[in-house]
Amino acid sequence: LFPFFADIRDVNDEWVRMHAYAGDFVEFPTGIEHRFSVDSNNFVQAMRLFPGSGNPDWSSVPRSNMHGNNTSRNAYVEKYLCGVNPDLDQDEHEHNHEDHDTDEDHDSHEDHDNHEDHDSHDHDSHDQDSHSVGSSSDSSAQQRISLSAFVIVAVTTMVGMAFF
C-alpha cells in the first residue's frame, strides 16, 4: 500500500496520480492544479508551505472559471509549457497570414506593426507575441512577483512501523 498519493493535472488537463512513501519530499511548482488524498488511516500527517511561496488558496475552484485568469497558472504555463495553455481554446488564438497576403491588406491589418521592413520580420514570433496572455507590463509585473515554488511537504508515517 502507498501511504499517500496526490493527483496532479498534466499538460492535457487530465489527472495523473503520483504516489509517495513515508518520509518522501513532494514539491509542486506554483500554478499546478492538485488534489490530495490521505494515507491508509485517512490521515495526512503534515503539509507545509515554505516561506516565500505565497498564500495558497485551499478552496475548491471550478476549473471552468479559471481559464486564462489565474496568475500562478499563467506563470507556470510560460515557464513549463512554452506559453501554450491547454486550458484555453487554441483556435481562438490562431492568426492566419494566408487570409491577407496582399500588401494593402497586410499593412492595414490592426494587429500588425507598421514597420517599413514588415515583410522581413519573423511572422511566427509576431504571432506568439501578439496573442500571448497579458501585455508586456503584465509580464514585468509577473517577473516581480516571487516565482518561488509552491512547496508542499507530505510527511506520512505508516502505522506499525515502530513494531517492525
Q: Render 123-162 in DSSP notation, one character per residue.
A: HHHHHHHHHSSS-HHHHHHHHHS-----BB--B---TTGG
Report the candidate in 11, 114, 93 with the shortest Cα–Cα distance to residue 106.
114
Distances (CA, A) of 154 to 17, 34, 38: 15, 13, 10
Asked if the model's pLDDT at residue 98 lies above 50, the reply is no
List, for residues 18-40, the tens digit of each pLDDT value. 777 767 777 766 666 555 655 56
Whole-number pLDDT of residue 159: 32
**Cα–Cα distance measured from residue 16 to residue 106, given in angstroms and rounded to the nearest whole number:** 45
List, for residues 100-121, the tens digit of each pLDDT value. 344 444 444 444 444 444 444 4
Asked if the model's pLDDT at residue 123 lies above 60, the reply is no
**Cα–Cα distance measured from residue 122 to residue 104, given in angstroms and rounded to the nearest whole number:** 19
